[in-house]
Structure 1
Amino acid sequence: MDAVFTYIASIAGASVDQIKLISCLLIAYPLGSLFIRIPSSQPNLKHIFNLSVTLLFFLPVLNLHWGFVQLLGSVLGTYFIAANVHGPRMPWIVFAFVMGHLTINHIIRAIFSYSYETVEVTGPQMVLTMKLTTFAWNVWDGRRPAEELDKWQLQKRVTKYPTLLEFLGYAFYFPGVLVGPYIDYTSYNSLIDETLFKSTEGKGSRDSKRAVPNGRKRVAYRKMVVGLLFLGIFVVFSPSFYFGIAVTPWFVTQGLLYRIAYFQVCGFIERSKYYAVWTLTEGASILTGLGFTGFGPSGESLWEGAANVKVLEIEVPSNFKVLLDSWNMNTNVWLRECIYKRVTPKGKKPGFRSSMLTFATSAFWHGIASGYYLTFLFGGFVTTAGRLCRANLRPLVLPPPGAPSTISKRIYDVLGTFFSIVVLNYVSAPFMLLTFKDSMEAWRRLDWYGFWIVGSALVFFYSGGSKVLKGLRKEERKGPVSRPQTPGPHVVPPPFDSATDEFEKRLN
């Protein structure tokens, strides 16, 4: 089998591991169509199917025999801990167990200097870490009184402990076992027993023999085409457009504006590989039935629940908050629900401590390379600057309720899009360059433009700019007010983006 992948890799100009990974993602499409044909009356057969396909991926295709044994160890350990530890520390014990195991493998990866082109256990283990820690919290929520839970916790809690086969099927759900999407146990269970579809019976068109809504294949294979398109973009252009080119001798010979512009193209090409694999896995998941979110106004079925990325909102964002909300969305949910909320003391609002612990968890989850920590550290300042802009500048350009958009508002939106994308490419470079030395050198050759943009904004706001802008808003409110001649409903302007202070809306 390796000979076949080696031959394909030589033609495509890609690494053997990359060809193997993409092959697994594409094989999942016809297998997804087989999976959904297993009747809901045979749930064990569905669990066995998941486990069998995962074994096919890890053993004969990827040759990750020891890697699969390690993943199985994390799964069995979590299953035992969650079943036998009944106190409130149980989820944290599971977290320490699986995250510690992941960190050890990150260290091993760093010691052997594996590139991101090398497929090994840490990629699937990162997805599994999210699933196992979420499961532990869902089990704990199932043991707590319902009145203590919020909406998400109430919906996702596990009140009936699964059998070992059910848990193995969940842990090794094959479309997402390699790169995601991460899925919680309740959602997986609703996929197995098809209650995911039965909740909307009587709406939209469905298969005559099953509860599955029509339109699933159309959406899934469209995702496959889009994923392959992004993959083609990456394969064709990545040899010339990549963040590492910033530390080559050629880059420094170019003019500053050319270097900055060239770097923006590099950012899109680097992200295209993530768009490719996440969109491919989304399509395969949809074929199994995952991701169904109801019906549209025309009765068409909607399949948005398995998405992990919104490309347009990332490449043409209205602001940095929207950009971050659209990237690696499943990980954002995990960080919000399993870290950010859980480290906040009961009865208190999340604050600086909760934010920093969540940032630290995200960094450790990604690995131990210094580039990750540079990206997340600087990312914290970027989100702060963005929040201050939305809180202080945006209200000045907002038109009155019901009025059309103004020129100043459109200019604000254009500038928000421009600065969001150029700052994104600057702050994400260390994430790909990995080392502190290369990251600093790349930033130096870009004349530290990201620091100038973000730093200038922070200095302005914290040195009195916020007070000046608030004063301008007060002056606007003192203007003449025309009163209606006849009594009418009192219209209250909406609050200024009250969600911007919520860390969970801007996690990466």
Structure 2
Amino acid sequence: MSPDELVYLGILAVTIPIGFLFRYLSPPVKQGAALLLGLCITIATCQVHTLHSLVTILGTWIIIKSNWRKASALSLGWTFLYLLFFRLVTWFGLPPPTPFANAIQLLLTLKMVSLANEVQSFHLEKKKEVSSFSKSPVIGGLSQEPSLYEIVAYSYCYVGIMTGPFFRFQTYVDWLRQPRPLELPGWVPCLARLTWVPVYGALFLTANSYFPLGYVRTEDFLERHFFFRLFYMTVVFFVFRMRFYAAWCGAEAGCISAGLGCYPEGALSKPGGGPTVSYSPDPDSPVVYDFKTIQNIDPYNTDFSVKVRHAMRYWNMTVQWWLHHYIYPNTPFQAYALKAGWTMFISAYWHGLHAGYYLSFLTIPLCMAAESAMETSVRAKLGPQGQHAFDWVHWFLKMRAFDYMCMGFVLLKASDTVNYWSSIYFIIHVIAVACILLGRLMRGGRREDRMSGKEGKGDGVKIEDVREKAE
């Protein structure tokens, strides 16, 4: 493990037991202590680069106070432009930020955009209440506009400050105001989330030692057999998954120990967003709680979902919620493929400026288009056994697609990514394009059959098309 990874691990290891102590604190003390601990972590790991996060926070506060009506768009523009400056600071003669400062800046960007949207929604709903003389039905909305201190406290709250998960300001406020935090579940769900962390960690260290990423960049690697080169991306993605499974499960345990994101199951909480319905528990019945609001990873569904689009929902789940609510609905396009492409472009930009991010993320819409084409033109025409076999092949190709895209994500440079992809003949791009072309040819044949009166069992394809678009 690298020194930076050891620091991350140390912070996680310390914050998990500390979280249980926060359950004993009153709301004001909890808020101040969480802020103080978060600032200590930030200053200790970022030093002077702490100023970047502070400037981002102050800029967002100014936007909220001066123009709440456009706070959503202005905060997105401000934080993303500052993210660009943050990554290009060496051009201005400033020292490069530490990896820890980068991690904090990434999560802070999500928080500030979400906060601006929450404040904007609060004022809009407040105006509706005044005009209609009725209480707003919005679930999980703010009850008042936060002060500068509250914004700073939310921004530097120690819980997940570097590793995530992302959580909304309202989730943070609910955490501070929990009426009986000591009665909420803690040790059992925390230990349940930590159970597999040693396994993930051991698999990561073992596989990484035998299959180092740097070997891909050597001339010796390019001289190996095609199937070895193809196999290598599978191991690299395995190492990548194990690393993040361990880190995110540990980060979730830190939230659970503090009680952050704990809501009744009846609230139907979503990762990142929190409760989706108003829920008043029966006073005569025991309340069952969950921590879905801060769930960031579902390893089983990530690995075993059949489709690319479905597997993505279970990876970095809180960030997926953020993209779905703040980016996807506001894309400048109408077509699903273009909306997905734009969302993936924004996701790549948020991750960084390395070309590998863009090459990987912009391959996702192509894979989605390919699987939709095959679903509507092939799977819909098969019987139950044929569909079962189709799903297994689909799952296998989905995993290879993620293997393939992961290489761009970890190699980062365009030259390294293209060199590797070319060494395996751009196999996933070729398969995806072939599936799209085959799907169009088969649908073309169906249209000709309908024109000649031979409709038959292809009618179900239209239903499948509607179902896929709804997803």
TM-score, reference length from structure 1: 0.78
User: In the alignment, what sits opposite 1:97?
Assistant: 78
Matched, 1:431 2:409: yes
Q: CA deviation at 1:73?
A: 1.9
Amino acid at match of 2:372: R
Q: Which structure 2 residues correspond to residues 99-498 of structure 1 after superposition, within 5 A? A: 99-108=80-89, 119-145=99-125, 154-194=138-178, 210=180, 213-295=183-265, 301-343=289-331, 354-397=339-382, 406-462=384-440, 464-468=441-445, 474-476=455-457, 495-496=463-464, 498=466
The answer to whether the 8 A contact 2:341-2:362 is kept is: no
* Residue in structure 1 matching 2:35, options 47, 51, 66: 51
User: In the alignment, what sits opposite 2:65?
Assistant: 83
Instruction: Give distance in 2, aligned partners of 1:497 and 1:432.
Output: 34
* Residue in structure 1 matching 2:52, options 70, 82, 90: 70
The answer to whether the 8 A contact 1:238-1:269 is kept is: yes
The answer to whether the 8 A contact 1:141-1:153 is kept is: no
Q: CA deviation at 1:120?
A: 3.1
Deviates more, 1:309-318 or 1:176-185: 309-318
Name the CA shift for 1:394/1:493 in 2 (closer, same or farther; >3 Å). Answer: closer
User: In the alignment, what sits opposite 2:468?
Assistant: 500
Q: CA deviation at 1:147?
A: 10
User: In the alignment, what sits opposite 1:15?
Assistant: 2
Instruction: Give distance in 2, aligned partners of 1:447 and 1:110.
Output: 37
**Partner of 1:439: helix, strand, or coil?**
helix
Instruction: Give distance in 2, aligned partners of 1:239 and 1:353.
Output: 40
Per-residue deviation, residues 383-432 of structure 1 (Å, max 9, x unmatched): 111222233333223x6xxxxxx321220121111000001111221111
5+ unaligned residues in a row in structure 1: which ranges?
1-13, 196-209, 400-405, 479-491
User: In the alignment, what sits opposite 1:481?
Assistant: none
The answer to whether the 8 A contact 1:139-1:159 is kept is: no
Instruction: Give distance in 1, aligned partners of 2:463 and 2:363.
Output: 29
Instruction: Give distance in 1, aligned partners of 2:30 and 2:83.
Output: 28
Instruction: Give distance in 1, aligned partners of 2:127 and 2:377.
Output: 38
Amino acid at match of 1:121: A
TM-score, reference length from structure 2: 0.84
The answer to whether the 8 A contact 1:213-1:301 is kept is: no
Name the CA shift for 1:407/1:243 in 2 (closer, same or farther; >3 Å). Answer: farther
Per-residue deviation, residues 458-484 of structure 1 (Å, max 9, x unmatched): 22123x222336769942279xxxxxx
Q: CA deviation at 1:127?
A: 0.6
Q: CA deviation at 1:157?
A: 3.6
Q: CA deviation at 1:213?
A: 4.9
Name the CA shift for 1:46/1:474 in 2 (closer, same or farther; >3 Å). Answer: farther
Name the CA shift for 1:120/1:279 in 2 (closer, same or farther; >3 Å). Answer: same
Q: CA deviation at 1:77?
A: 2.0
Q: CA deviation at 1:289?
A: 1.3
Instruction: Give distance in 1, aligned partners of 2:155 and 2:366.
Output: 36
Name the CA shift for 1:288/1:72 in 2 (closer, same or farther; >3 Å). Answer: same
Name the CA shift for 1:110/1:230 in 2 (closer, same or farther; >3 Å). Answer: farther
Instruction: Give distance in 2, aligned partners of 1:45 and 1:51.
Output: 10
Bigger fraction of residues in helix: 2
The answer to whether the 8 A contact 1:321-1:386 is kept is: no
Instruction: Give distance in 2, aligned partners of 1:35 and 1:460.
Output: 58
Deviates more, 1:93-102 or 1:25-34: 93-102
Amino acid at match of 2:262: F
**Partner of 1:239: helix, strand, or coil?**
helix
The answer to whether the 8 A contact 1:146-1:154 is kept is: no
Instruction: Give distance in 2, aligned partners of 1:189 and 1:338.
Output: 21
Instruction: Give distance in 2, aligned partners of 1:256 and 1:146.
Output: 63
The answer to whether the 8 A contact 2:226-2:424 is kept is: yes
Q: CA deviation at 1:317?
A: 2.3
**Partner of 1:165: helix, strand, or coil?**
helix
5+ unaligned residues in a row in structure 2: which ranges?
130-135, 267-284
RMSD (Å) for aligned C-alpha atoms: 3.3
The answer to whether the 8 A contact 1:127-1:180 is kept is: yes
**Partner of 2:295: helix, strand, or coil?**
coil
Deviates more, 1:127-136 or 1:317-326: 317-326
Name the CA shift for 1:298/1:20 in 2 (closer, same or farther; >3 Å). Answer: same
Name the CA shift for 1:235/1:108 in 2 (closer, same or farther; >3 Å). Answer: farther
The answer to whether the 8 A contact 1:67-1:120 is kept is: no
